Structure 1
Amino acid sequence: YGGKYQKFTTHFSIFIISYVQLIGTMMVKEKINNLPEKPGVYMMKNKNVEVIYIGKARNLKKRVSSYFTKASRDGKTENLINSIDDIEVFITDNEIEAFLLESNLIKKYRPKYNIVLKDNERYPYIKITNERFPRIMKTRIREDDGSIYFGPYPNVKYINHTIKTITDLFPIRRCSRASSSAPIKNPCLNYYIGKCICPLLTPEKESEYKRLVNQAVLFLKGRKADVLKEIETEMGKEAKNLQFEKAIQLRERYMAIKNILEEQKVFSSSAENEDIIGIADEGNLCVITLIMKRSGKIIGKKSYTFEIEIGPEEILEQFLTNYYLTSDDIPDKIILPMDIQEKELLEISISEKSGKQVLLEIPERGQKKRLVDMAIKNAQNSLREHLFRYNPEKAAIELKKTLNLDREPKIIEGFDVATILGSFSVASMVNFINGIPNKKSYRKFRIKYVEGQNDVEMLKEAVARRYQRLKNEKGKMPDLVLVDGGKAQLNAAIEVMEKLDLENIPVVALAKSREQIYTRNREEPIQLPFNNDALRLLMAVRNEAHRFANTYHISLRDKNLLLSRISEVKGIGKETAKKFLSALKDINGPITAEELEKIDGIGRKKAQIIMDTLLKK
């Protein structure tokens, strides 16, 4: 009876587990049926009473019920639903309170299925310090110190320009002197040139200074119309009190801000500040890219990466909540790649936070749709960069197994070619040791023996030249050779290796279109999953060979173009032009006539002619 008893107990255990899960699901559904139709926050817990997900809703019953509707589920949401053992709710007076409470609870519990907002890079902020006499500064560290932060901004030039604009309009301090009750004796240069009223010198101006700081903050928040109203009111008061000098200063500030607004209107028919969002996901990895557009200009982009088992719509909604409800730099419009369930509620909450109307838009056509597509492409590119990360040791083991090699490939060499209609044709060879680029062993080849557009023959020439020389010099041979392409490129490389009596070195080809691996002994290509370490390593080698070949090709093409342009100038022959080009690599920094004079055979007159030509071209 032993086997039958064991089988019976196994089936009985499965039945008990399934029954317990069923009872748990029934209890959760019963609780959902009794939820109020009011705004609030819901906390989902697992059987260990751990908070695994926190969300907010305008209607708690409707929102929580939607998770258990099969039509709205995807595979990732299914994992969340199967983990829920209990649901707890907090009822709030309104939707805004729900948003703020959700943000605070996520920070406290850090649930498994909620995103944690982290920049892929540490971008700088504009900071208005929390001091008696606040100052404006640039910083890369955001502290919980009561200061006001704008950003982060990916474009440092934009930050520097903005800080300069602020101090030009509102003479607030930038110096690092500590605020104190006792006045200082020696103000900094900004005081003397009218860029700061220096409250440290005259503490009695504290109320005036704080008014300036408040106006600067409103300006940075995009509430320029509110600033103009405030200044207009101040002008009236000063004129009434016969303080005409102050009234004139205020009028100058008023007109300067108005001129900025007019310039923005002239520059762009849509000079509003906008953030454009793109999203891409693969498996449990998701990337959100945010493109920042200010006064009609794109000033940069930021990317955020999340590794989490929820769908892209849910991730996007969480991102928008976390990012904009904790930011002081909120644009007029946020352009989205897809609809989200709580779009209207989020729009109200962000508008409330920023003190102005903020619109969330989902464009279907036109310029904004093109910008969203660009943001999505950037998100996809960032996602691919993350997916290309591989474990070198695991990759070598996987390659040995997948390609049926005698040993794990320690040295891999990759080839690619670059040409434009058979002109400036080059090839590259990159060398990876233990999965790491070994740049000192990279080689580039100017194609000598192939005419016209024939990539396969160019590849054969590069492979032959590389391994003939390595063989002659008795150099270290690779454990694996990779060529960019398909069956034709593979056969060409194998043919060369056989002629050199190097057929014992494995050769593979990697096709770009579907990332398929072609090998000597298989008719059909090998298709590995995208997250496989072996495939990621081969892709890294192939992409590096492609980059190296293209860089060399472009440099040759540009050098030839420059040579022909300078050679055409009266008084400058081909020999002088060649001297100029060969000396370029020794000039650090910008090219000047003085630098060119030092080149043998050029002199002052020819140097000036070359500079004039470069400037015109």
Structure 2
Amino acid sequence: MAISKKIILKTLPEDPGVYQFLSKEKKIIYVGKAKNLKKRVSSYFLKNIKSRKTLNLVKNTKFIEHAVVKSESDALLLENSLIKENQPKYNILLRDDKTYPWICIKNERFPRIFLTRKFIKDGSEYFGPYTNVKVINILLNLIRTLYPIRTSNYNFSQKQINNPKNEIFLNVHKNSGHSLILGFKKFDKSLIKNLVSEESYNENIEHARDILNGKFSFIKSILKKKMINFSKNLEYENAQSVKEKLNLLENYQSKSTVVSQKLSNIDVFSIISDLDFAFINYLQIINGRVVRFHNQEVRKKMNESDEKILSHIILSLREKFNSQSKIIISPFDYKKLINLKFIVPKSGDKKKLLDLSFKNVKIFRLERNKQIQLIDPEKHINRIMEQMKIDLKLKSEPRHIECFDISTIQGTNNVGSCVVFMNGKPAKKYYRKFNIKTVNGQNDFGSMKEVVYRRYRRLLEEKKVLPNLIIIDGGKGQLSSAVKSLKDLNLFEKIPILGIAKRLEELYFPNDTIPLYLNKKSETLKIIQQLRNEAHRFGISFHRNKRSKSALVSGLDGINGIGENTKNKILKKFKSISRLKNVRDTQIINEIGKSKAQKIINYLKDNS
């Protein structure tokens, strides 16, 4: 289904991510990153754009694609990978061979730790990549402050250092918590306090590795003690310096989802579906980098499972994009059907990739549904009604829903409200208010029983259409009260009824002690919540008006010569005592005459 750019812009997510502009031949002509995809992509299509390059880009853009990531940093890394892979026509800044920096723990005796842009497969460990060199420098400085880590060969050759038969030590001079590396040294008993053995050095490397992996608890405890000691000694500048390092550790993210040196060539697939369509996301990873993302919508056949649909899509997408990957990450294991290695990950980097794919496919489905809502509202409503029918196990679609709520404060001015939704939308002309007549004091159950009974007795008497579903704002007690009224009217089991409890949004059904829990993002739950909230709003509004009127009438009861007609006239005009106190005397005189107005004015002054 071809979707116009105007519709796509309206339904873009407000998440960090990467976007691609494609030509009419579906060739990528521009790749960009965004902290907020909706705002950034929309900015290209504003009317006041003057840049010739941007105008040409927009003119040649026929399709827009995007991928959502967890952070702005990941967006920058993914943008870099996509530009290098696709070399888009309108990208000029990242088309060179520049790569983002890593931190390397060198595979050698007394390993060095340093910044590098070169990725060499020699057994060394690499952490990153990082989008900010300043962060790397602070981390390296932190590690070197805490532990004596060498930066060069000093007085020994690389051959001497690498010789395992050569027992050597690092000669470290320590002073006031600071370390100065003087070079390598053979064992010298007179310098034993300054010598760091290879075993001790490797323990320091292990602590440094924890920092680079984001395991900070041990390091943070050391830094906090240092900060407290500096403060006690009134060394506030040193304390502030340590505090800044702590803040860095709090905000530091050690790993990227879109770039990982632990991954090679992998295809990642995910799928979700609704009644009629399945939605698939595909991520292609080459040399540890996401270099392609693709979303696809597929019409489902009768009772076709996600597992079966995805097995066909995997083969077609791999052929379409000429994927040579031997490893596939997916929610299902197809190794018996397809001669490749399938992984259904439970944790680690591979699980993060699958989670990223699922996040994108969920957003893709949400966008498609929003687009259908804009293009074909009737189709959108039909889909939601059918979904509600399935979720709530109804016999027919709930095209006409009524929701009830009771409003009261300390048992006074009890009122009920009934709101009506037609085809999932408020039908305000059918809303009804109820003054509670048969219940005194605070009794939500009795009030609910009265309101439901009065509502449907009247509909029966007037031979009007009954709803397809009744919703009660409340738990088991309110639901049971409403059910009694339906039984009295011989309507129970003729109209489906349920109650929604606010605490965990449980849905209760008659004769069932176990509530139904719908997914918090379920469209069915959202419609029910809208009904509940609208009934509450409508009831509260009515209740406030009733309280204001009661306060005004009772406030005028003590005035001699002011009868019911005058009170009602004042009530209709000024609504409340507080408003009446703030109006000009002439306004009251104009409304009820000078004689009666003077009595009210004098009374208000005496009781102000």
The two structures have a TM-score, normalised by structure 2, of 0.39
Pair member with larger Rg: 2
The two structures have a TM-score, normalised by structure 1, of 0.39
Structure with the bigger RCO (C-alpha within 8 Å, sep 6+) is 1
